[in-house]
Amino acid sequence: MDEAYQVPVRQEDRIKAGLALQLVAASTGVPKERMEVRSRLEGRACRARWLAMYLAYVTFGWPMDRVGHAFGLNRATAAAACRWAEDGRDRPVIDELLDRLERCVRDVLEAPACELPA
């Protein structure tokens, strides 16, 4: 049981999950690399990853299993993270942070695509 839970994930999902992680990292000061560790995380890094998973769930409209897979976790872990984040919205500081992050993600995703030359 030493092997990490892993399911094939589309590159597009990895990019979007990375966006959520980077935005949460920039907003909380928790490095993205700490949130991506496959072992049990300490408090701040764990809560930051939960916020990123919730952000993916809300802004991308992903079902829980897809959120879990994109973050290298299972559905139950993703669901627990999203419940914690949703409950956290009772705190104004968390609610305002998530509102800002949701707007930011939507602004990025709704912007015209930029085709780069090869």
The answer as to whether 27 is a domain residue is yes
Residue 65 lies in a domain: yes
Is residue 93 a part of any domain in this protein? yes
30 in a structural domain: yes
pLDDT band at 1 (very low <50, low <70, confident <90, very high): very low
CA-nearest of 66, 56, 61 to 16 is: 56
Q: What is the pTM of this model?
A: 0.88
Give how many domains the chain has, as a whole number: 1
Inside any domain, residue 54: yes
Residue 25's domain is classified under what CATH number? 1.10.1750.10
Per the document, the length of the chain is 118
For 54-71, letters b (16+ CB in 10 Å) and e give bbbbbbbebebebbbbbb
The domain of 29 spans 11-109
pLDDT of residue 60: 96
Instruction: Answer whether residue 50 is part of any domain.
Output: yes
DSSP at 7: -
Q: How many Cβ atoms are within 10 Å of 32's Cβ, its own excluded?
A: 18
Q: What is the pLDDT of residue 39?
A: 77
* Interatomic CA distance for residues 98 and 5, integer angstroms: 27
Q: Please indicate, yes or no, if residue 117 is contained in any of the structural domains.
A: no
